[in-house]
Amino acid sequence: MWTRMRRASMVVSLQTAMLLVLVLVLVAMSMSCASRTVSVTRSEPLEPGSARAESSRPLGLDLYRPEPADNPTVPATVTLGRRLFHERLLSRDRSLACVDCHRPDRAFTDGRAKAVGVYGRRGPRSVPTIVNRAWGESFFWDGRIATLEAQVLQPIVAQLEMDLTIDEAVERLRETSPYPAAFRETFGRAVNGDDLARALAAYVRTIQSGGSPYDRYVWGEPAALSKDAQAGLELFRGRANCTACHVGPNLTDEEFHNTGVFWGGQPYDAGRVLVTNVPEDTGKFKTPTLREIERTAPYMHDGSIATLDEVVDFYDRGGNENPFRDRDLRPLRLTQEDKTALVAFLRSLTGTVTDGR
Ligand code: HEC
Ligand code: HEC
């Protein structure tokens, strides 16, 4: 009995010792975690749902901003990406940076009907705004690219845009301060194409528009919209059926539709069918966001419509009739008053554009 108790107490003390070791290990681990947390805090990550992320998200947008696991939207990457977005070395003749076509003073478009690349080369399509593309599900007017990381290298290699190979771009950056050091600091290695894409994509994710009169109205400030704009919103959601496609926080379903813009367009651009080869996709283009729409004229994938009044006239006649036209489009028979209201509503989508956070 006595020995059994002693043995029991020895077992207990052995357990206590093991517990002590375990506690020590845990403390050590949590200390190393703590030091890791400190270094993370220093670079201020925008964790989805963190206080900082919430406070920097303009009113009206989802608080959760998607990002790939291998490219978090951390300030170091964003800052490098922002610099690269302004870097003219990334074009063949060193004359053109992303920012020259996606101009912040025009809500990241260029004000032209069609893009103009190096040596004045004319592209076939209009420069879209790139606000809120963090929430994009596919990229380009025909959605041919699946991720932002893949998208951002395309304009560099496009002959009608910047016309440089990625190898040449990497070589130029390796020879130019501050890039070798900046890439090493941010990614822990020499300049390379994948990290170039990561930095540019991370920056593009931070380009946001929200906090417009429309958002304030929806979030409980009735006076934020004029009577006209309120009537326009009612039409937009109701009789004019715009929300069949322009829905959600970003006013797009991220789907492809044939509104007939391409019909008769020069040169002929068949849109989505070029990607899918499905005949029904002929003339379909991605529904664009309508945020900042007042600032991004001219409109449509080919820049063929100059003003918002003309866009509303276009929808009033049901778009351009063609064999593949979307079923959600039909003549609307809007009065002049209705049209004025719709345009007033579209103008209420001009908000605050932020980048870099
Ligand atoms: C010569 C003008 C030009 C330059 C320079 C340019 N872009 Fe663009 N960008 C366009 C055009 C035009 C499109 C649409 C092309 C299409 O849909 O086929 C586009 C599309 C995009 C899109 C997709 C938007 C969406 O909604 O699908 C993103 C993102 C983008 N560009 C980012 C960039 C970045 C990053 C750079 C610099 C590396 C850049 N662009 C340089 C003209 C330009
Ligand atoms: C069937 C889907 C659909 C409906 C309904 C629809 N749109 Fe669109 N909208 C699109 C697509 C797709 C485009 C791009 C077409 C293109 O460029 O060829 C577009 C483009 C636009 C543009 C130009 C955007 C830009 O950046 O160039 C505006 C403005 C617009 N729509 C407003 C409206 C309004 C207002 C209504 C309601 C009267 C409406 N849309 C109804 C799908 C739709």
Tens digits of residue pLDDT in 114-163: 999 999 999 999 999 999 999 999 999 999 999 999 999 999 999 999 99
pLDDT confidence tier of residue 283, bands split at 50, 70 and 90: very high
- Find the mean pLDDT for residues 196-219: 97
CA of 310 to the centre of ligand 2 (A): 12
pLDDT confidence tier of residue 55, bands split at 50, 70 and 90: low
Nearest residue (CA) to ligand 1, atom 37: 98
Count of CB atoms within 10 A of residue 263's CB? 17
- Find the mean pLDDT for residues 84-112: 98
CA of 277 to the centre of ligand 2 (A): 23
Ligand nearest to the CA of 154: 1
- Find the mean pLDDT for residues 211-221: 96
pLDDT above 60 for 263: yes
Say how many CA atoms lie within 13 Å of 13 toward its Cβ. Answer: 5
Distance separating alpha carbons of residues 345 and 185, to the nearest angstrom: 46
Query: Which one, of 137, 109, 58, lies nearest residue 292 by Cα?
Result: 109
**What is residue 341's predicted lDDT score, i.e. its pLDDT?**
98
Decide whether any atom of ligand 2 lies within 6 Å of the 241 Cβ. Answer: yes
Question: Which range scores top for mean pLDDT: 28-32, 36-40, 267-271, 276-280?
Answer: 276-280
Alpha-carbon distance values, 148 to 193, 199, 205 (Å): 14, 11, 8
Distance separating alpha carbons of residues 91 and 84, to the nearest angstrom: 11
pLDDT above 70 for 25: no
**What is residue 15's predicted lDDT score, i.e. its pLDDT?**
52
pLDDT above 90 for 20: no
Distance separating alpha carbons of residues 272 and 225, to the nearest angstrom: 36
**What is residue 111's predicted lDDT score, i.e. its pLDDT?**
97
- Find the mean pLDDT for residues 248-254: 97
Residue 26, burial from CB neighbour count under 10 angstroms (0-12, 13-18, 19+): exposed
Ligand nearest to the CA of 199: 1
In sequence order, which residues have a C-beta less than 8 Å from that of residue 207 and are 6 or more positions away?
Answer: 108, 130, 131, 132, 133, 353, 354, 355
pLDDT above 80 for 173: yes
Distance separating alpha carbons of residues 22 and 308, to the nearest angstrom: 68
CA of 114 to the centre of ligand 1 (A): 12
CA of 287 to the centre of ligand 2 (A): 6
Residue 268 CA to its chain's centroid (Å): 28
Tokens linked to 244: 């069949």
The backbone region for 260, taken as left when phi is positive above 0, alpha when psi lies in -120 to 50, beta otherwise, is: left
Pocket of ligand 1 (CB under 6 A): 85, 96, 98, 100-102, 115-117, 123, 125, 127-128, 130, 133, 136, 139-141, 151-152, 155-156, 161-162, 200, 204
Count of CB atoms within 10 A of residue 351's CB? 23
Residue to probe by mutation, ligand 2, list 109, 245, 313, 326, most atoms within 8 Å of CB:
245
CA of 230 to the centre of ligand 2 (A): 19
Ligand nearest to the CA of 330: 2
Residues for the chain: how many in total? 357
Decide whether any atom of ligand 2 lies within 6 Å of the 130 Cβ. Answer: no
Distance separating alpha carbons of residues 249 and 347, to the nearest angstrom: 16
Nearest residue (CA) to ligand 1, atom 16: 140
Ligand nearest to the CA of 141: 1
Residue to probe by mutation, ligand 1, list 96, 161, 170, most atoms within 8 Å of CB:
161
Distance separating alpha carbons of residues 52 and 40, to the nearest angstrom: 14
Alpha-carbon distance values, 267 to 181, 262, 263, 274 (Å): 45, 9, 10, 14
pLDDT above 90 for 268: no
pLDDT above 90 for 21: no
Decide whether any atom of ligand 2 lies within 6 Å of the 288 Cβ. Answer: yes
pLDDT confidence tier of residue 296, bands split at 50, 70 and 90: very high
Ligand nearest to the CA of 312: 2
pLDDT above 90 for 53: no
